[in-house]
Structure 1
Amino acid sequence: MKEVERVKKIGYVIDEAIGYFTPDISRINHLFKVYSYAKTIGEMENLDEKMQEILEVTAVLHDIGIKVSEEKYQSSAGCYQEIEGPGIARKILEQLGYDEVFIERVCYIIAHHHTYHEIDGLDFQILVEADFLVNIDEDQMSKEAIQSIKEKIFKTRTGINYINYLYL
């Protein structure tokens, strides 16, 4: 896919996510922050075009299940997001014309993005690192917690640099 087409398509995914989360500005801001870190880390880690696109789309949609989780379970816990998110993401991506292999990968990552032992690729790894870079700030985590997250979760050179620069 040409770069212009890819960029335009991610815009539609973002537009759908904004519409879905409106009026919850905190969720919208969260997705933009995770998307920005994921996009940058992916580019700095030299992902190929297809994996970069999967990463960016997943970053936008990674928490798409949180709204239903709060309504259905009265909780935003990651385990509920993993249950509810893939179906919502699939519907959005099918409407936008993404192919089944692409959709399956995005949905797999969304269905496991709080289950860190399931990380099975650089796209998934970077999504988790980007989400932590945002959550560390949003949740005001302690230095001890940040150090533990860095040691247990972070693997990419860029992600490690960012967690060090920003928080340690």
Structure 2
Amino acid sequence: MAAVRDRRPADLEALAAALVEVHLVDGYPVEGVADPRAWLTPPGTLHAWVATLDDAVVGHALAMTAQPEIAAVDAWVQRGGDIATTIVGARLFVAPAGRGRRLGTTLARTLTDWAVHHALDIVGDVMAKDTAAIAIYERLGWHRMGAAMHDTGRGTQVPAYLYASREP
């Protein structure tokens, strides 16, 4: 049975392994996975969720504080959005074992519902190559604000689209 629940500290080992697998299959995250646990627990994390399949952790999403100099945050503020009531949706992935069950959509919807409950807007970026993630956000009614080049931290940049959960 598939489900989404709050992330627990005990989930991090399985999530790290799933993230390494996702990186091998999809090239996500583009920054690489030298330290998957650190990537899954960035500074400013507000809340995180996992997707499970028959009690095995197969997916992840999180909400983190909005900071200036994040391309999606800057685009949102330039359009009139308020950084004080904005969060960044991030670290969304589903391992191959969990795909085909709409877990990515369920994780994104859980994040969106959580933000609405807390009267927060969500922004984020999606690499242009990640067409499945783009389809999820657009199916949920998120709005593309533009494009940017995402710094991989390894001396390269990749094209990304900037999204917001609503129009400002």
Structure with bigger helix share is 1
How would you bin the TM-score normalised by the shorter chain?
0.3 to 0.5
Structure with bigger strand share is 2
**TM-score after normalising by structure 2:** 0.34
**TM-score after normalising by structure 1:** 0.34
